[in-house]
Amino acid sequence: MHPVIRLVNRNLTISLNKGFMIWQVIFPLIYIFVGGFAYTALIDSVSYGNKSLDYPAYIASGMIGFNIMNSALVSGIIIWNDRRHGMFEQILVGPFTRTHYILSNVYTIGIIGLISATLITAVGYPLFFESIEFNLLTMPLLVFASVVGSILFGSIASIISTRLKSSEGFNVVINTVFLFFAFVSTAFYPAEGSPLPLSIAFYFNPLTYLVDVVRAGIFGNFDTFVAIEMLVLATLAITLFSIATKLLAKLEL
Amino acid sequence: MSCIETKLLSKSYGVINAVDGIDLSVNYGKIFGFLGPNGAGKTTTIKLLTTLIPPTAGSMKILGMDAIRSPLEVRKKIGVVLQQPSYEPTLSVEKSLEKYGMMWNVERKMRQDRVEELLSAFDLGEIRNIKNDELSIGQRRRVQVAREFMHDMNLLFLDEPTVGLDPSARRGLLDFIKLKVKDGLTVFFTTHLLNEAEYICDEVAIINKGKIIAIDTPDELKNKFGREKTIKIHLDSIRRDLSNLLIGIKDYELDFNSGTNITIRSNDSEEVLLKILQILTANNIAIEDLSAIPTSLEEIFLSVVNKSNASSN
């Protein structure tokens, strides 16, 4: 078995525990069902392209992007945990190279992102099935969003993991980043109608682009703007992945 | 051919020479002890030899391979227990052994057999289902060491493997290592416990300030550096007048803890002993007990390191 596959196997075993699954499934479900239905009293519907979506359908589709980010951040923390528990050095004195280690994390993050997106799509399906317009063009958008989004957010978590030394600092930074990404985005509410500074801030957040691509994939609303968003996402993912890889390769032991 | 061979191996961090041109030659099938005070360069040397960090200068051959050119090939044939703890907090003891075997590409059936064998050898059976995060430091260390025996290897690096272990677990581990060495394994072993090194090592090197200051078998080191011998004489009665009687004799100490104790520490201890015995006999002073304390590796270590520090100062 190739060393990268062995490391991915190990990564998935240590990541896919009860706590992680609860975090990955229960947490977004609370947003979808509790938040979605509670806010329906305030937000009746959200205009999306040439459609009008009810709020639970809007938030459920947003939660797919949110969950990809969430899982990628959590699995990106593999590096942090490996450093903290001595496994990073232990792996590197074994039959592996740093390249094996980096690639295994990318694949792990991608796989977990896909699993998370699939889980939330399955759970949210009853809420947005009436508005779904899957077709040959839009389906790959979901896969693109899952993989590219996972690499992007996984790279962010990796960068943070390699730069910080204390657990306290790491937790503060990860939580702050998470809060900004989650709530200054179109995952929960549309940019239109928000105060101007906030709606501008939305577009300094990669989650907004990710969620927009996911929604385009579900509701069949692919246009030039979404294509630009995909380009931005891909460029950001490549850049951040390169930085994360360089930092990891230079990490002193 | 040696199992480990280094020539002028060095590692610098800025102006600090953590390892300063060391030459090592470790034979196959032996346990090589690597001793030194804190910060002497032991762990840096292990990191160099296990290819975790590259050297600043020098060369090293591990198992006949150029470790600078082919680090991955070297790592495939060695096992390493690092000084720092390493564990998967979410995995149980059994699962972490099994997964570690998988990471080393050990075939499934063999993995299962080895897990059972190691759980028993390292007395981990009762905690096999406990997660690593919930183990005591000593238990976790036992798992960390046991885990390394999940895969085949020709050379094993052990960086203070017995830290946190109770005496019985420590002895069990040392005996297990001895057994593996009989089967052909070579071991590079660092420890702070010199009685441990004396018990297990065939050859010992002492490193201080990045340089090797002594290297030989424990017995030869004792012969070379252990000329000073300690002899103790015990008298039943308290004889405070002894210091007057022994005037002119050097290298002895008196104490009056439950009788009178005369401790001789000298390079010529036999000669000193003879003089003291003559005085005691002449004064009709009865000896209750007389004992010679063998030179330990610890004394050699302290003597060699102190001399090295004094000369570098």
Give the one of A13, A85, A253 whose C-beta lies nearest to B86's C-beta. A85
Burial zone of A75 (CB within 10 Å; 0-12 exposed, 13-18 middle, 19+ buried): buried
More confident residue, B14 or A131: B14
Local structure of B189: helix, strand or coil:
strand
CA A113 to chain centre: 6
Interface residue A81 vs chain B (CB under 8 A): yes
Alpha carbon distances (Å) from B171 to B122, B176, B199: 11, 9, 10
- The helix (H) or strand (E) run that includes residue A211 is helix A206-219
Between B137-148 and B108-121, two packed helices, what is the crossing angle to 10 degrees?
140
Q: Among B80, B88, B89, select the one facing A93 at the smallest CB separation.
A: B80
Q: Which residue of B75, B87, B99 is in closest CB contact with A10?
A: B99
Contacts of A82 (CB under 8 A, 6+ apart): A88, A91
Nearest-angstrom CA–CA distance, A70 and A20:
10
Dump pLDDT digits (tens) for A52-87: 888 888 888 888 888 888 877 776 778 888 988 999
**Other beta carbons less than 10 A from residue B68's beta carbon:** 17
Say which residues have a Cβ less than 8 Å from residue B86's Cβ, sequence separation at least 6. A85, A86, A87, A89, A90, B144
Q: What is the pLDDT of residue B226?
A: 67
Give the pLDDT score at A229: 94
CB burial readout A192-224, b (16+ within 10 A) else e: eeeeeeebebbbebbbbbbbbbbbbbbbbbbee
A162/A81 Cα distance (integer angstroms): 11
A167 touching chain B per CB within 8 A? no
Interchain contact A98–B (C-beta under 8 A):
no
Scanning B73-102 for CB atoms below 8 A from A yields 75-76, 78, 80, 82, 84-91, 95, 99, 102
Looking at mean pLDDT, say which of A142-146, A162-166, B92-96 comes out highest: B92-96
Closest Cβ–Cβ partner in B51, B89, B103 for A85: B89
Two tokens at A154?
A: 């996984």
Cβ of residue A6 closer than 8 Å to a chain B Cβ = yes
ipTM for the predicted complex: 0.80
Q: Which positions ≥6 away from B22 have C-beta within 8 Å?
A: B6, B8, B9, B10, B41, B45, B58, B207, B210, B211, B212
Mean pLDDT split into 10-residue runs, chain B, 313 residues: 93 91 94 90 94 94 95 96 93 96 95 96 94 93 96 95 89 93 94 85 92 88 75 87 86 86 84 90 89 76 77 69
Inspect the interface and report whether the beta carbons of B95 and A7 lie closer than 8 Å.
Answer: no
pLDDT in tens, B204-225: 999 988 999 889 888 888 777 7
Instruction: Say whether A253 and B53 touch across the interface (CB within 8 A).
Output: yes
Compute the average pLDDT of residues A152-173: 86
pTM of the model: 0.80
Measured between alpha carbons, how far is A170 from B135 in angstroms, rounded to an integer? 25
